[in-house]
Amino acid sequence: MVRGIQRVSWMILLVARLTWAETQYSAEDVKCAYTLNFAKFIDWPPDVFGSPRDGFHICVPAQGAIADRMEALYSGQRVQNRAIELLKLSERDSWSRCQVAYLNGLAHGARERVLSALRGKPVLTIGESHEFNREGGVIQLRHAGVHIRFSVNLNAAEKARLRISSKLLKLAEEVR
Amino acid sequence: MWQRCGALFYALSVVSAFAEMPSERPVTELSIEELRDVRVTAIATGTAKPERLNPGVITVLTIRDLERMGARTLGDALEGVPGLHVSRSSHRYTAKYLVRGISTTFNPQTLVMLNGAPLTSLIRGDRSTVLQILPISMVARVEIIRGPGSAVHGADAFAGVINIVTRSAREIGGTELAASLGSFDSRQAWYRHGGRYGELELALLVDYDETDGHRRIVEQDAQTQLDRALGTRASHAPGPVALSAKRLTALIDGEKGKWRLRGSFHAGWNLGTGPGIAEALDPDSKARGSRATFDLTHHEPDLGPGWELDSRFSFYHATQQFDRGLRLFPPGADLGGGSFPEGMIGSPDAWERQLRLTESLFYSGFENHRLRLGVGYSHGHLYRVRESKNFAPDFSPLPELRDVTDTSAAFLPESLRTNFHALLQDEWGFHEDWEATAGVRYDYYSDFKGTVNPRLALVWAATPRLNGKLLYGAGFRAPSFAELYTTNNPVTLGNRGLKPERIDMYELAWSYDSGRDWSGTMNLFHYKVRDLITFVRDPGVAGTTAQNFASQDGTGVELESRFAVSPAIRLQANYGYQNAVSKSGSVVAGAPNHHLYARVDWEPVGEWLLGTQVNWVGKRARVPEDSRPALRGFATLDFLFSTRLWQRALRLSGGIRNLLDADVREPGNPPSSEGQAAAIPGDLPQEGRSFRIEAAYSW
């Protein structure tokens, strides 16, 4: 009897762990991967890059938990044929040298200030706050149950002179 | 035994090792399609579904909305929500949030919550009549759900639910200091700070305000009629309503890891009595009161694969005090039993506390399902009642003020209520574009026993831009202590045999977002309310007793649209229509059938924002016993502005409200029986034109 129970519980554990092991990543890692993917489906105006040797700048608030994960995951990665340079910035730094600005981890007021400073500049802004798209951010990530999905503010992208591929738009949960 | 444990341990380690084998592809190699399907371990709370996919008709007002509306109070903000009109009761002009035309005198049918914990007073089922809910400077978001929500929120989520979410450390992100000046000698100052100290995120907010109130004139009051009948000359009417106030509020919010603690304290003093507690002007009496709340939550996002647990403990304490008593009727009044040279005085002081404990367990391990299992316990105690008065139960004068505390002559006995609840809910995404939500909650109350409330919702993402929802929800409203236990009041008596009020509502909602410049929603609803508690005249005597007497059926529609004319000009408008009919076939009184709100925001240059809003409220019907014509509607026009200077460190805002000085009135209490006049026949005059300016500095 006890043996039977043992066997069944092993099997349950085994099956459970296997199913979960197949597809489970941390939310932070998935967000890092999304960010990398977005950069592949967006065209920046050519005048953004000074020389062919310039890196691709992804900027992130220095104190945010995701900064460390980006550092680990982006090492050696390339985007748009350029090496990724991760810049860990504070609110007071200039964000306009970034191609991608990941703004989660900034306080509400600071985020608004950075967003407004970046208005019209060719920077892909990514955030997670409930209001990020409405505030003028280009891509908003959000938790949908156990999944992470994203929505796009096309007006903001156009103002920033970013061309988003139709494939990316099709996969967005919402395009406003 | 040890052998078995060892075997199990071994098996577990094998399984774990196997699971962690490098079969996982690096996350950076996944495509966007694959990322969309990845299940993540940390499930954030508070990142609820977007409004369009939420299984309910919901409006969210954000900081930005509140700023754009120039909202000084929650009432100002809520007036712009479709299907909701903020009226004022004759009890100190307390706000009544009329959702879809459903309300009795004290408006207990709308549940107001602070960060998810009810702010309902046990005495009348309303928010305390002597206190404000919360200053707007502390509010990050207001979530308004129209329609019943007792399957989730329990008692009083009847006509609608208003949840006020306060600003967190992250939302403040620094320090801000502000001061404002406005009409009616109104002054306000607030301080906000939010910062990170090691692993602790801490927010501290303090707000102080004082005002003389608008002092609009009430031409005739209850005493005017007594004067006419008995030849006395005691009334203060015509005279101004007394709405003076001084208020101090402090809020603290600390978050560390999975724990969050929030505490608030709100005190009001020098509070005027509006048109008088008995609708006889009382310019001299003042009330005071306080409320303290404490809320500890713990969120465990990963209790095991797919399991999450939310725990909450909350505490509420509130007081109402009238130190020198209320002059229910002014000096020289005579209610037929002799004259009151000092006025008819009473001081119904009360203290109450409530404790709540809830556990919510979520499971999302079944494909496409998210299950929620919840249990909770609450304990509400009106633990102290103190009363002095100078009148006998038949309204004849006593020689002096008599302390009737702890005697059967007090207005309400000290009383206790406990409640236990259990709920089960499943969100089932049964098709790529369809999601069903089914839930049921059982509540058991120590005073009126059990009630079961279900809900069903079907949400259809027809296209990425078009969504449809079909909703059914049931709700109940717990009888208040005043309705259950009032004794020794010759006018209204409680009834221990009361059942809860019940509502069933059906809704069909559509929302469309063009993705570019406009979006719109349309909601249709139909509801049936049963067992509404009203005070029914007792045969042969002058008094009334609380009974589950009334019912009403309502139907209506709400339309809302937002349109960006250009990047700098945005337009939004909403319209609500409701038609509610009582059992006898008469139109339900007090709430407008039509309500229209429209706003234009214009960002002409740089950091400037100019806005104008129009609020039109249609006529309000009278009860059948009232011979007056319907109360006419009104329209107000506001102009608002804001700008930021000094590299956005200084924010200046302000505006003119009710620019055209429209005569706005809200209905007072109706006459108590046919042939009688209402106590205040000219209804309750509201604020006229007013100005306000605010400067806020942040660093």
Per residue in B572-628, pLDDT (tens digit) is 999 999 999 988 888 888 999 999 999 999 988 877 899 999 999 999 999 888 999
Cβ distance of B24 and A25 shorter than 8 Å: yes
Which residues of chain A neighbour B64 with C-beta distances below 8 Å? 131, 134-135
Q: In the predicted model, is pLDDT for residue A128 greater than 70?
A: yes
Q: What is the pLDDT of residue B434?
A: 84
CB contact B47 to A (< 8 Å):
yes
Q: What is the mean pLDDT of residues B292-313?
A: 88
Q: What is the pLDDT of residue A100?
A: 95
A145 pLDDT band (50/70/90 cuts)? low
- Residue B58 in contact with residue B82, Cβ under 8 Å? no
Q: In the numeric block, which tokens belong to residue B18? A: 């196997």
Cβ distance of A21 and B19 shorter than 8 Å: yes
Q: B17: nearest CA in chain A?
A: A17
Q: What is the mean pLDDT of residues B127-133?
A: 82
Q: A21: nearest CA in chain B?
A: B19
Burial of B29 per CB tally in 10 Å (0-12, 13-18, 19+): exposed
Q: Annotate B488-498 with b (16+ C-beta within 10 A) or e (fewer).
A: beeeebbbeeb
Q: What is the pLDDT of residue B19?
A: 34
Q: What is the pLDDT of residue B79?
A: 95
* Residue B514 or residue B298, greater confidence: B298
Residue pLDDT, tens place only, B228-241: 988 999 999 999 99
Q: What is the pLDDT of residue B571?
A: 93
* Residue B37 or residue B141, greater confidence: B141
CB contact B698 to A (< 8 Å):
yes
Average pLDDT over chain A reads 80
* Residue B78 or residue B460, greater confidence: B78
Q: What is the pLDDT of residue B575?
A: 97
* Residue B673 or residue B500, greater confidence: B500
Residue pLDDT, tens place only, A72-106: 888 888 888 888 999 988 888 889 999 999 998 77
Cβ distance of B515 and A143 shorter than 8 Å: no
DSSP per residue, B173-226: -EEEEEEEEETTTEEEEEEEEEEEETTEEEEEEEEEEEE----PEES--HHHHH
In a domain, B108, yes or no: yes
Which residues of chain A neighbour B605 with C-beta distances below 8 Å? none
In a domain, B226, yes or no: yes
Nearest C-alpha neighbor of B78 from the set B91, B64, B54, B96: B96
From CA B697, how far away is CA B699, in angstroms rounded? 7
Q: In the predicted model, is pLDDT for residue B5 greater than 70?
A: no
From CA B335, how far away is CA B344, in angstroms rounded? 9
Residue pLDDT, tens place only, B402-434: 999 988 888 889 999 999 999 999 988 888 778
Q: In the predicted model, is pLDDT for residue B303 greater than 90?
A: no
Cβ distance of B64 and A108 shorter than 8 Å: no
B311-320, B559-568, B641-650, range with greatest mean pLDDT? B311-320
Q: What is the CA radius of gyration of chain A?
A: 19
Q: B49: nearest CA in chain A?
A: A144
Which are the contacts of B683, defined by CB distance < 8 A and separation ≥ 6? B631, B665, B666, B667, B668
How many of the other CB atoms lie within 10 Å of CB of B594?
16
- Residue B358 in contact with residue B392, Cβ under 8 Å? no
Residue pLDDT, tens place only, A7-34: 544 444 443 333 333 335 777 888 999 9
Q: A170: nearest CA in chain B?
A: B464
Cβ distance of B27 and A29 shorter than 8 Å: yes
Q: What is the pLDDT of residue B42?
A: 30
Q: B369: nearest CA in chain A?
A: A145
Which residues of chain A neighbour B43 with C-beta distances below 8 Å? 27, 143, 145-146
What residue segments make up the domains of chain A, in order of their start?
25-175
- Paired residues of B298 in beta bridges: B259, B311
What is the phi-psi region of residue B553: left when phi exceeds 0, alpha when psi lies from -120 to 50, beta otherwise?
beta
In a domain, B251, yes or no: yes
In a domain, B526, yes or no: yes
Q: What is the mean pLDDT of residues B636-645?
A: 94
Cβ distance of A108 and B173 shorter than 8 Å: yes
Q: What is the pLDDT of residue B130?
A: 79
Which residues of chain B neighbour A130 with C-beta distances below 8 Å? 47, 62, 141
Which residues of chain A neighbour B11 with C-beta distances below 8 Å? 10, 13-14
Q: What is the mean pLDDT of residues B283-301?
A: 92
Residue among B20, B43, B172 minimizing CB distance to A146:
B43
Residue pLDDT, tens place only, B529-538: 999 998 887 7
- Residue B344 in contact with residue B397, Cβ under 8 Å? yes
**Cα-Cα-Cα-Cα dihedral of B599, B603, B607, B610, to 10°?**
-40
Q: In the predicted model, is pLDDT for residue B112 greater than 80?
A: yes
**Polymer length in residues for chain B:** 699
Residue among A14, A116, A168 minimizing CB distance to B32:
A168
CB contact B645 to A (< 8 Å):
no
* Residue B694 or residue B21, greater confidence: B694
Q: What is the mean pLDDT of residues B170-189?
A: 91
Q: In the numeric block, which tokens belong to residue B648? A: 């956005």
DSSP per residue, B358-404: EEEEEE--STTEEEEEEEEEEEEEEEEEE-EEEE-TTSPEEEEEEE-
Cβ distance of A6 and B4 shorter than 8 Å: yes
B9 pLDDT band (50/70/90 cuts)? very low
CA distances B330 to B18, B225, B289, B340, Å, are: 84, 13, 23, 8
Q: In the predicted model, is pLDDT for residue B333 greater than 50?
A: yes
**ipTM higher than the 0.90 cut:** no
* Residue A124 or residue B674, greater confidence: A124
Q: In the numeric block, which tokens belong to residue B552? A: 């009403």
Q: In the predicted model, is pLDDT for residue B1 greater than 50?
A: no
Q: In the predicted model, is pLDDT for residue B512 greater than 70?
A: yes
Residue pLDDT, tens place only, B522-576: 999 999 999 999 888 777 666 788 999 889 999 999 999 988 888 788 899 999 9
Q: What is the mean pLDDT of residues B502-520?
A: 86
Residue among A24, A77, A109 minimizing CB distance to B39:
A24
- B83: domain range? 50-698
From CA B226, how far away is CA B234, in angstroms rounded? 9
Nearest C-alpha neighbor of B669 from the set B659, B658, B661, B680: B680
Q: What is the pLDDT of residue B48?
A: 40
CB contact B28 to A (< 8 Å):
yes
Average pLDDT over chain B reads 88
Q: In the predicted model, is pLDDT for residue B676 greater than 90?
A: no
Q: In the predicted model, is pLDDT for residue B689 greater than 50?
A: yes
- pLDDT > 90 in chain B, percent: 62
B515 pLDDT band (50/70/90 cuts)? low
Q: What is the mean pLDDT of residues B345-351?
A: 91
Q: In the predicted model, is pLDDT for residue B33 greater than 50?
A: yes
Q: In the predicted model, is pLDDT for residue B12 greater than 60?
A: no
Cβ distance of B39 and A37 shorter than 8 Å: no
- Residue B630 in contact with residue B620, Cβ under 8 Å? yes
- Give first-to-last CA distance, chain A, whole Å: 60
Q: In the predicted model, is pLDDT for residue B102 greater than 90?
A: yes
Q: In the predicted model, is pLDDT for residue B17 greater than 50?
A: no
Q: What is the pLDDT of residue A24?
A: 52
Q: B45: nearest CA in chain A?
A: A143
Report the helix count and the strand count for chain A, using DSSP H and E.
6, 11
Q: Are strands B665-666 and B684-685 parallel, antiparallel or unpaired?
A: antiparallel
B22 pLDDT band (50/70/90 cuts)? very low
Q: In the numeric block, which tokens belong to residue A46? A: 């050519």
- Residue B73 in contact with residue B86, Cβ under 8 Å? no
Q: What is the pLDDT of residue B45?
A: 24
Q: What is the pLDDT of residue B560?
A: 94
Cβ distance of B36 and A63 shorter than 8 Å: no
Report the helix count and the strand count for chain B, using DSSP H and E.
8, 41
A16-20, A47-51, A83-87, B55-59, range with greatest mean pLDDT? A83-87
In a domain, B8, yes or no: no
Residue pLDDT, tens place only, B153-174: 999 999 999 999 999 887 787 8
Q: What is the pLDDT of residue B166?
A: 93
**Domain containing B400 — which CATH number?**
2.40.170.20
Q: What is the pLDDT of residue B10?
A: 39
Q: A14: nearest CA in chain B?
A: B15
Which residues of chain A neighbour B305 with C-beta distances below 8 Å? 16, 20, 24
Cβ distance of B37 and A147 shorter than 8 Å: yes
B464 pLDDT band (50/70/90 cuts)? low
- pLDDT > 70 in chain B, percent: 93
Residue pLDDT, tens place only, B354-383: 999 999 998 877 878 889 999 999 999 999
Best B28, B362, B428, B646 residue to mutate vs chain A (most A CBs within 10 Å) = B28
Smallest CA–CA distance, residue B201 to chain A, in Å, is 11
Best A146, A152, A165 residue to mutate vs chain B (most B CBs within 10 Å) = A146
What is the largest distance, in Å, between two alpha-carbon atoms of chain B? 98
Question: Count of domains in chain B?
Answer: 1
Q: In the predicted model, is pLDDT for residue B265 greater than 90?
A: yes
B18 pLDDT band (50/70/90 cuts)? very low
B646 pLDDT band (50/70/90 cuts)? confident
- Looking at domain A25-175, does it have CATH number 3.90.1200.10? no
Q: What is the pLDDT of residue A8?
A: 46
B11 pLDDT band (50/70/90 cuts)? very low
Q: What is the mean pLDDT of residues B48-59?
A: 68
Lowest mean pLDDT: which of B44-48, B389-393, B422-426, B563-567? B44-48
